[in-house]
Amino acid sequence: MSNALLTTDFHFPGQTKFYRGKVRDVYTIKDELLVMIASDRISAFDVVLPRPIPYKGQVLNQIAGFFLDKTADIVPNWKLASPDPVVTIGQLCKPYAVEMIVRGYLSGSAWRTYKKGYREICGVAVPDGLREHQRLPKPIITPTTKAPEGHDEDISREAIIEKGIVSEADYVQLEQYALALFDRGTEMAAKQGLILVDTKYEFGKSGDQIFLIDEIHTPDSSRYFMAEEYQLRFDKGEMQKQLSKEFVREWLMENGFQGQAGQVVPEMTNDFVQKVSARYIELFEKVTGQIFVPANNSNLHARIESSVIDFLKNYS
């Protein structure tokens, strides 16, 4: 098995805070910069699974960087540099406590909700008579609250504004940015023979400026279908080939795990871990149109530490 990054414990010059998320280790520098390290951890149903996935962090970091660069004309983003294959350094922003989930198709958790008989998802009406993976009349936004730990919760636009989680003026702008980003992502995916099914965007604010933060259009935050197979599979009622981590969720569900209390994560064999790694690499190449070049992970922690320190020395 290739060397994989499970956790980090660095002490960078000027470091003021540290936060470990489900996937990323985030270091704050002088309350001004964020050093975000994409580990090889993988989560599903808001649970971090016990084994890391080789090269997953590199895939996520480089896909996110690719799309941040390609969408900077739509909305400013937090990225300043990526000095290492698994590291992005950027501007510290105050994050909004919501995630903007944009859906173009009825898949994943939206389908599971719909199948139970609900015809409103996060306050958004959805037509009757739809099938799993069917294209929606137009993309919809189904926001969730951003939970520091545990499960994010579905919430409606109206509740977000009524509770003062986000001001109405800012929320309107977030909606516009999210839909524009989804349009761009859809166009870019189509050029690669893919369908961008759904995705999530996170935003923050620095001063009066809204920034796109975190990752964008990665397999952890997005779901992709193969375009040439979509209609045939849909007409036959077959499952779509998904370039996302939905197949990991499906494997977990097949093995009796959905993140509920008392459930135990099934054993992740070496073969399964390697298959997940291969799927992430496949998605990188499909989405970006570039060949994935695995980094030399033989001295992973030292490489990351050196890259970050060199950047901070030269940053002014």
pLDDT tens digit sequence for 148-195 = 655 678 999 999 999 999 999 999 999 999 999 999 999 999 999 999
Q: Torsions phi, psi of 222, nearest 5?
A: -140, 165
Which residues 6+ apart lie within 8 Å of 4 measured at CB?
Answer: 40, 52, 53, 54, 55, 56, 297
Question: Reading across the β-sheet that carries 15-20, which strands appear in turn?
Answer: 15-20, 24-29, 33-38, 87-91, 79-84
Task: Give the count of domains, the chain.
Answer: 1
Residue 142 domain-assigned (yes or no): no
d(CA 106, CA 309) in angstroms, rounded, equals 45
Residue 24 domain-assigned (yes or no): yes
Q: Torsions phi, psi of 237, nearest 5?
A: 75, 25
Query: What's the angle, vertex CA 223, arms to CA 219 and CA 227, rounded to 5?
Result: 115
Q: Are 28 and 15 in contact (CB under 8 A)?
A: yes
3-state secondary structure of 217: coil
d(CA 245, CA 228) in angstroms, rounded, equals 20
Residue 203 domain-assigned (yes or no): yes
pLDDT digits (tens, 9 = 90+) for 12-69: 999 999 999 989 999 999 999 999 999 999 998 889 999 999 999 999 999 999 999 9
Residue 151 domain-assigned (yes or no): no
Residue 239 domain-assigned (yes or no): yes
Residue 207 has pLDDT above 60, yes or no: yes
pLDDT digits (tens, 9 = 90+) for 210-226: 999 999 998 889 999 99
Residue 139 domain-assigned (yes or no): no
The CATH number assigned to the domain holding 72 equals 3.30.200.20
Residue 126 domain-assigned (yes or no): no
Residue 1 has pLDDT above 60, yes or no: no
Question: Across the chain, what does the average pLDDT equal?
Answer: 94
Residue 284 has pLDDT above 90, yes or no: yes
Q: Torsions phi, psi of 314, nearest 5?
A: -95, -10
State which residues form the domain around 86: 1-95+163-316
Q: CB burial class (10 A; 0-12, 13-18, 19+) of residue 80?
A: middle
Q: Are 265 and 256 in contact (CB under 8 A)?
A: no
Q: Tell me the pLDDT band of 140, cut-offs 50, 70 and 90.
A: very high
pTM: 0.90
Calculate the dihedral angle through the C-alpha atoms of 184, 202, 222, 113, rounding to the nearest 10 degrees: -120
pLDDT of residue 34: 97
> In DSSP terms, which residues pair with 135 in a beta bridge?
105
DSSP state of 97: S
Query: What's the angle, vertex CA 177, arms to CA 203 and CA 168, rounded to 5?
Result: 75
Tell me the percentage of the chain whose pLDDT exceeds 70. 97
Cα–Cα distance list, 51 to 72, 105, 141 (Å): 34, 31, 32
Residue 38 domain-assigned (yes or no): yes
